[in-house]
Structure 1
Amino acid sequence: MIAAQLTARFPNGMTSLALLLFIEHVTGSYGAAGLVLAATSVGQAIAGPVTSRWMGVWGMRRVLTTTLVICALSITTIALVPMALAGYMALGAVAGLSTPPVQSAVRTIYPKMVNSRQLTPLFSLDASLQEIIWIVAPVVITLVATQVGTVQALLLIVVILIGGGSWFILSPEVGRVRIPRSRRSLGKVLTKAPVLLATVIGFLLIGACSAVEAGVVATFGHGGLEAGIVLAVFSIGSLAGGLTFGHIPIGRWAMARRLAVVTVGLSFTMISLNVWWIGGTLILAGIGIAPALAVIFAMTSASVKFSETPEAFGWIGTGQLIGAAAGSAIAGFLIDGVGPQGAYWAATAFAFVGFAVAVLFVRGFPDLRHRDAAPIPDTAPIGTVPS
């Protein structure tokens, strides 16, 4: 299941960078590329809780298959049909709206695969191993885009999207797990403080990462592999952090400590644009990322009923994707205005605000040091026989 979902989500580590390179190549503007990325991310953000909730109505496989087909067709059209910027933005939005909700699906399945004591370590392992996507994918897509072509890079994404998505959809667990229909209205789950905090923190953390991605591409350009390698180094730091610290019990201050590491590392990127310096500082910043994501996943799962988990994780994904949109757009315009260093300023600001939120609202984070992260069981009225 872990291998299938990682493969299905592999395009997530390629699409933003491929679109950035493709649109900048076509239009000559990082600002234009940022707008297309923003449209794509906003589409994903809108779809996240909706398509995730649909899985409890129509089933995982039907929703995943339908969205997979539409998303693949949209990216193929972007790659092969020349159009104005507005057209690229529109199709980017469609691709975003139809992104298969694999992340919500697999994190809903996990509590049914392991016992409650194993769930928090599984979330930590998942958050760590997903960094393989961010280590390998940027290098692969940068190599294809710079050495073969940006069109071919987008078509490669379509091939992996179809292959990995099909593998995940056909996994026995996807057909076996049945999600109860949620009895609460859309958005009600956000009234729970841990879910709302996880959504806000995810927005800020991924906004920082997205700004870094744009900054690295702008710093090292399209002419070599430096951009992909530096982004891979960033993810190696996250993978190392997750595997090293992911087993530590999650208390109320866990998020603040992990975001402090990210903030300090990103603040150092503003000192120099030398490839070795940027790589070293991003390794430091990356150490806190996977552990912070593990906190987000565990605190969300532990705070909602099983029937609400798809929508809750959908909102988490929405927060992250809006963060990606904001980070890409702000970084793109700062790059056009003041140069690549502007993107690192934006990344540091996003991370610092996330750290501040974690400190100011620390009481809203659950203490999971002496409890598991399993969802709250769904309950229903039980009929009784009169005596």
Structure 2
Amino acid sequence: MAGYRDLLRTQGVGRIIAAQLTARFPSGMTSLAILLHVEHATGSYGAAGLVLAAASVGQAVAGPITSRWMGLWGMRRVLTLTTLVCAAAVAGIALLAVPLPVVMLLGLLAGLSTPPVQPAVRTIYPKMVNSRQLTPLFALDASLQELIWILAPVVVTLVSTQVSTVAGLMLIVVILLAGGAWFILSPELGQVRIPRSRRRFGTVLSRPPVLLATLVGFLLIGACAAVEAGVVAAFGGGGVEAGLVLAVFAIGSLVGGLVSGNIAMGRWAMARRMAIVLVGLILATMFLNVWWISGSLLIAGIGVAPAFAVISAMTTASVKFSDTAEAFGWVNTGQLIGAAAGSAIAGFLIDSAGPGGAYWTAAGFAAAGVLVCVVFVRGFPDLRFRDPSPIPDTAPVATITS
């Protein structure tokens, strides 16, 4: 913890972490708020699912594009535009009484305009700290983001059910604008400029570490989404058990991330961390009572944030600084697709085999993740003895001295 205290004393680090967590807080609220609002307005979970699907497609498509735009037009311009458009789209869903296709279009627009806060802040981090502090900073970031998934669903559910679903969506608009303004006005965004990339859009995926980070992120988030579906199916019948079990999962991730912050990341680091997730999820398939599932997910969670920290570090260390934001955009898109795939497959298996099918789905995704990490281990960078900062966009030029 002394290392984290020193890190947070570094100028601007504590402020930028708090600002980006606030700006990203709506990401843990929006899907649930839309689900509750559209179901309340139409009486159909199917209609709500269509709106959520449109929003997810928009996010997946826009992630790499808006992230790359930050190198063309600057972070503040892109973040301001996307924040305003996203807030307007969410407000439209809340306030307009329109047919379902129009609501789907608004959901698509909200997804397309989701502010690229995560790619922005992970591009800024290497410019704020020295190379020794960068790995712990990624671990701290991956750990603290669990607070979003612990608190945000509780807040939006409470407001939506105790006040109104419109109030739940408008709360998102307020946090989106306030948190976005705090992050956008942070001095660090003015001090860091992303150079214009000279490579074609998508070329960054030709870097094996970026492709592996995207694939492993897809599998890891797919496992987490399947777990969420299984917990809701098993314990979501009106009690508090589902929320408590998911909170335990997130707490395990928070603790794991903080503990792993100063552990060096070799080529096998991702495989080991994914293996912890797999062990916990295999245990979760054995018994479906709340205490066993909670204990199993606590174990699985210990590997989640550390795995995300490796994803961030290997992505940053493997691309030029001008490509960092786009690389993280692709990684985020892989995670969004993984969430959709994990939820969908788990849903089908829950219908046919009960809640246990979701945990088998999660274990399957995690097992595939471990397999990818083992088979392609040489594609993971060894960050134990090298600077994990991005590759400079300019290289030394040889000069003739005699």
Q: Distance in 2 between matches of 1:166 and 1:265?
A: 39
What is the match of residue 90 of structure 2? Answer: 75
Given that 2:137 and 2:261 are in contact with CA atoms closer than 8 Å, whether structure 1 keeps it comes out as no
What is the match of residue 211 of structure 1? Answer: 226
Alignment of 1:99 with 2:121, yes or no, is no
Q: Distance in 2 between matches of 1:155 and 1:262?
A: 36
CA shift, 1:35, in A, is 4.2
Q: Distance in 1 between matches of 2:159 and 2:207?
A: 44
Given that 1:234 and 1:286 are in contact with CA atoms closer than 8 Å, whether structure 2 keeps it comes out as yes
Structure 1 residues 38 and 10 mapped into 2: Cα distance closer, same or farther (>3 Å)?
Answer: same
CA shift, 1:131, in A, is 1.2
Q: Distance in 1 between matches of 2:347 and 2:46?
A: 5
RMSD: 2.4
Given that 1:31 and 1:333 are in contact with CA atoms closer than 8 Å, whether structure 2 keeps it comes out as no
SS at match of 1:223: coil
CA shift, 1:75, in A, is 1.6
What is the match of residue 345 of structure 1? Answer: 360
Q: Deviations over 1:214-243 (max 9, x none)?
A: 332333336343333322221101000001
Q: If the length of structure 2 is used for normalisation, what is the TM-score?
A: 0.89
Q: Distance in 2 between matches of 1:29 and 1:348?
A: 31
Q: Distance in 1 between matches of 2:353 and 2:97?
A: 30
Q: Deviations over 1:227-274 (max 9, x none)?
A: 333222211010000011222110111111111111121223333433
What is the match of residue 62 of structure 1? Answer: 77
CA shift, 1:33, in A, is 4.4
What is the match of residue 196 of structure 1? Answer: 211
Given that 2:229 and 2:347 are in contact with CA atoms closer than 8 Å, whether structure 1 keeps it comes out as yes
Deviates more, 1:85-94 or 1:25-34: 25-34
CA shift, 1:8, in A, is 0.5
Q: Distance in 1 between matches of 2:175 and 2:195?
A: 31
Given that 1:139 and 1:225 are in contact with CA atoms closer than 8 Å, whether structure 2 keeps it comes out as no
Given that 1:194 and 1:300 are in contact with CA atoms closer than 8 Å, whether structure 2 keeps it comes out as yes
SS at match of 2:92: helix
Q: Which amino acid aligns with 1:96?
A: G
What is the match of residue 229 of structure 1? Answer: 244
Picking from 177, 180, 183, the partner of 1:165 is: 180
Unaligned stretches of 5+ residues in structure 1 = none
SS at match of 1:145: helix
Q: Distance in 1 between matches of 2:52 and 2:294?
A: 24
Structure 1 residues 191 and 81 mapped into 2: Cα distance closer, same or farther (>3 Å)?
Answer: same
Q: Distance in 2 between matches of 1:331 and 1:80?
A: 33
Structure 1 residues 381 and 277 mapped into 2: Cα distance closer, same or farther (>3 Å)?
Answer: closer
What is the match of residue 44 of structure 1? Answer: 59
What is the match of residue 278 of structure 2? Answer: 263
Q: Which amino acid aligns with 1:226?
A: E
Given that 1:138 and 1:232 are in contact with CA atoms closer than 8 Å, whether structure 2 keeps it comes out as no
What is the match of residue 253 of structure 2? Answer: 238
| Percent of pairs with identical residues | 73
